[in-house]
Structure 1
Amino acid sequence: MSKLAYLQCPTGISGDMCLGTLVSLGVPLEFLIEKLNGLGIAHEYKLWAELVLHNGQQATKVHVDLLNNSDRQHSHQHHHPHHRHLGEIEEMILKAGLPERAQTWSLAVFRQLAIAEGAVHGIAPEKVHFHEVGAVDAIVDIVGTCLGLDWLGIDTNEQGLPSLYCSAFPTGGGTVRAAHGQMPVPVPAVLKLWEMRGCPVYSNGIERELVTPTGAAIATTLAQNFGSPPPMMIKKVGLGAGSLNLPIPNILRLWLGEAVRHEHVTGNRKRGIESRVRGNDQIDTLPLSPTDRSHTTNINPTLETISVLETQIDDLSPQAIGYVFEALFTAGAVDVFTQSIGMKKSRPGILLTVICHPENLSNCEAVLFRETTTLGIRRLTQQRAILEREIQLVETEYGVVRVKVAWTQQAEQRILNNIQPEYEDCAELARKHQISWREIQRIALQNWYLQKS
């Protein structure tokens, strides 16, 4: 099986976080130091690692300490005493005696970063000498990351790039002080790198610099695709710590695994799965029985980042809650629910919970503040596993019913997990024809199976 990796960036990505994930996965720090010494800058920095805790979760923190500036922390925001042009860095890499793949990838990352910086400042990439490109720590981060990916033995695609995938990026917010003064977050170089690859982004509500130019350059150059993880069997997860104190752990996660290959189905049944080939030669599968499901190990739901809003309310008319539900769904909520709770002074109240995608967090929060009496709302960022799904139309003698079909994908094979007629369609037809809702639902489900046979 081919080896691949997935970068999950719930709190962004930086160069030192990338190095942390690789050391966490077992890449020897001594190996990185030995190979990086070939760059000829070993006298300028010290590389070391430690285990740290972020919000109670342990991760590997890699430090790049400059030997001539002990007060300078690892961040592209600070002034760099030595600026290097792209050509000088490329020459360093070519003369370092790096493994072939690590050399190729390092050159590609620096070229991508120089193109972005050049576009931002209106100069040719070869003339770029800004601190984001010339810093010692950026050189160590980028070349070290490429060395680590090569050491892990990750496969390459036809273009020679690693089989690396990456999640969507959190935008962050606020401002940072850089060499050119105060800048909004995301900084211009990061925005340009995202634009060059058409990257998906979202706001997780954290107003800090979450993605650095070095981290963005590594991901946008080496990743083949962005978004949900590819079908894979996870073998090990590396955790790289950042330097920020955030509401959620400032940790980059690198999933290392093997690509899921399509298994040929022989006979009528294999591993409890009954299959058939449709007219377009696409393999389709019937739902698994409960017994079959217990023996299936290759279920690969999609992971996505989700925002959760919570607030307690004890002084709002129950009549308003229904209206709040409608307003929240209009604002983009995925789900809304309440729970009865006991509050201070023995008052009965409700816990109102809203689940939404990060990009709709602000809209949903605005509804809660506008339409309820709450004075504060808790924000949570979580990961949820979801099944692929689509709406299919099914003809019945009483009318058309939409049916929601959910499945997991295994290479070219879909394994169906759930088939459910839409409630509103069944209810409308039941009222119209004076038939029980259960009967309409049964007919719709039966016709779906007949339609697929």
Structure 2
Amino acid sequence: MKKIAYLECPTGIAGDMCLGALISAGVPLDYLESHLAKLGVSQEYRLRSELVKRQGQQAIKLHVELLGEAGGETDHHHHEEDHHHHHHHHHEDHHHHHHEGDGETGGLGDGETGSVLPQGGRGRKHQEPQEHHHHAPTRHLPEIEGLILGAKLPVRAQDWSLAVFRQLAAAEAAVHGVPPEQVHFHEVGATDAIVDIVGTCLGLDYLGIEQLYCSPLPTGGGIVRAAHGQMPVPVPAVLKLWEARQVPVYSNGIQRELCTPTGVAIVVALATSFGPPPPMSLNKVGLGAGSRDLPIPNILRLWLGETEVMSVPAQGNMETVMVLETQIDDATPQAIAYTSEALFAAGALDVFTIGVGMKKSRSGILLTVITRPQDTPACEQIIFQETTTIGIRRSLQERSTLHREIQTVTTPLGDIAVKVAKNNHINKAYPEYEDCARLAREHQIPFTSVHRMALDAWHSHE
């Protein structure tokens, strides 16, 4: 059995939400504190967790309180009060974000500043967005790497932390047009970002997680004020991170900053895939709270479970695909054939139809399209344009595929391309139809004879 985790992010993701979910799932706070102390920056922050409610549901809120030079708490207080509440634990340190809008700021979960009133603790609610002028030391990527490598952390936590920071630095570098090691910005160097990223990696290692999965992520919306002016949500670094992994995203209608660079960098660097929960035996769920109440519970849910090792093919590939379906009872075969051709041209991975019985005893077809998430809009446009349907169902699914490559074999009749699929000791060969058909016509022999020659030639070289 393999230990796996699934991050369900209905209101986005941020570093402090990840930490809260991990603590809720059983990672001791003192374990995180003792290992984070090895980084040598513990004089810059204080950790505090509390049980809060979001839309009536309990979850753990983790605060990373930055300390002033004299050891006092800064007014930064986790940026909690100006963002949605699960901003980048410090998205704000990064961009000095403030959410524009109706007098409330929010939408983050990490570095955000939101209106959180800790139960049983001293809470504050900012009435207006305000600039935070005190910041933790600004650091560059090489310095962060040095802190992590010198801390003697558990090997997996160390490697994961480095991977996340490098992913984040690469995104910021792409935004600003400089090499990653020259990125000069608060985000990567902010103390709270260090705590969020390294703490999350420590927690995943503590729980023995072998593979991490993540749900599609909500885009959020609106405008945030940053040090260099206003920026649209999602902010540029988040878009670059999503682009790097082709992360499936969607709008849940909430006009706040929901996904922070720190939170997104964690899953982009560490998640095996994005989509629905993988098959697992569910053992426990950890709940990490963002800082603000939203129309839906502002809680990141960490599912912990086990799965059979063979559920993910060795040397194979796991990928997330979008499955589109619609029933049609009044289209001609020619129209369906044309639609299929157009869908393949638009990037569909597969298109097929099944005969179905529909309402009023009408015979029809079920048109199914499998495509990459980013090609969904183009495929839906074709279906609406070329068929009579008025509705399309969509679902994100994971699929496992064998490693595939094209090889060329030589036969007495000529060269034939052969698609080869491999997985451990599994080898499958599929001579390409077009090559076999062309040679069969040229030599006036049965297609099956050419197909057999191609397979014999391939097997003789295996």
Q: Shared fold (TM-score greater than 0.5)?
A: yes
Tell me the alpha carbon deviations over residues 287-333 of structure 1, each in whole angstroms, 9 at most, x when there is no partner.
Answer: xxxxxxxx9x9744210111111111122223211111111111111
How far is the alpha carbon of 1:348 from its aligned partner? Answer: 1.9
**Greater alpha carbon shift after TM alignment, 320-329 vs 416-425:** 416-425
Relative distance call for 1:254 and 1:182 in structure 2 (3 A) is farther
Q: Which runs of 5+ in 2 are unaligned?
A: 66-76, 88-107, 115-129, 275-279
Q: Is the 8 A contact 2:405 2:421 kept in 1?
A: yes
CA distance in 2, matches of 1:250, 1:425: 52
What amino acid maps onto 1:87 in structure 2?
A: P
8 Å CA contact 1:21–1:254 kept in 2: the answer is: no
Equivalent residue number for residue 63 of structure 1: 61
Give distance in 1, aligned partners of 2:203 and 2:372. 33
C-alpha separation in 2, matches of 1:427 and 1:106: 50
Q: Tell me the TM-score normalised to structure 2 length.
A: 0.61
Deviations 1:90-143 (A, max 9, x none): 999999xx953379789966798689769968999898557x97586x565234
Partner of 2:245: 200
CA distance in 1, matches of 2:173, 2:440: 64
- How far the C-alpha of 1:431 sits from its partner, in A, is 3.1
- Deviation, 1:170, is 6.6
2:74 maps to 1:74: no
Choose the corresponding residue for 2:49, options 46, 49, 52: 46
- Tell me the amino acid that sits aligned with residue 49 of structure 2: K
**Cα deviation, residue 375, structure 1:** 1.4
Structure 2 equivalent of residue 314 of structure 1: 329
Aligned partners of 1:339 and 1:351 also within 8 Å: yes
The answer to which structure, 1 or 2, has the higher relative contact order (CA under 8 A, 6+ apart) is: 2
Aligned counterparts of 1:376 and 1:182: Cα–Cα separation in 2: 38
Note closer, same or farther for the CA distance 1:358–1:405 as it changes in structure 2 (3 Å cut). same
Q: Is the 8 A contact 1:84 1:129 kept in 2?
A: no
Name the SS of the counterpart of 1:190 in structure 2: helix
**Equivalent of residue 197 in structure 2, options 142, 145, 151:** 142
- Residue 179 of structure 1 corresponds to 225
Code of the residue aligned with 1:201 in structure 2: it is Q
Contact 1:87 1:126 in 2 (8 A): no
Q: Distance in 1 between matches of 2:305 and 2:261?
A: 22
The counterpart of 2:383, out of the listed 354, 365, 368, is 368
| Equivalent residue number for residue 422 of structure 2 | 407
Deviations 1:335-364 (A, max 9, x none): 111112222233222111100112221221
Give me the whole-angstrom Cα distance separating, in 2, the residues matched to 1:126 and 1:432: 61
The amino acid that maps onto 1:14 is A
Q: Is the 8 A contact 1:430 1:437 kept in 2?
A: yes
- Compute the displacement of 1:415 (Å): 3.0
Work out whether 1:395 is the aligned partner of 2:398. no
> Aligned equivalents of 2:169 and 2:417: distance in 1?
51
Amino acid at match of 1:383: E
3-state DSSP of counterpart to 1:329: helix
TM-score for both structures, normalised by structure 1: 0.62
Counterpart-to-counterpart distance in 2, 1:305 and 1:344: 32
| d(CA) in 2 for partners of 1:386, 1:360 | 19
CA distance 1:118–1:313, change in 2 (3 Å): closer
User: Distance between the aligned counterparts of 1:426 and 1:74, measured in 2?
Assistant: 60
Matched-pair contact (CA < 8 Å) for 2:321–2:397: yes
In the alignment, the residues of structure 2 paired with residue 122 and residue 202 of structure 1 have an alpha-carbon distance, to the nearest angstrom, of: 22
SS in 2 for 1:179: strand
Corresponding residue of 2:99: none
Counterpart for residue 440 of structure 2: 430
Distance 2:213 2:19 in 1: 17
Which residue does the alignment assign to 1:31? 31
Q: Which runs of 5+ in 1 are unaligned?
A: 55-59, 155-163, 229-233, 261-294, 409-413
State the distance in 1 between where 2:446 and 2:25 align. 57
Q: 1:330–1:415: structure 2 CA closer, same or farther, 3 Å change rule?
A: same
Q: Which residue identity is paired with 2:426? A: L
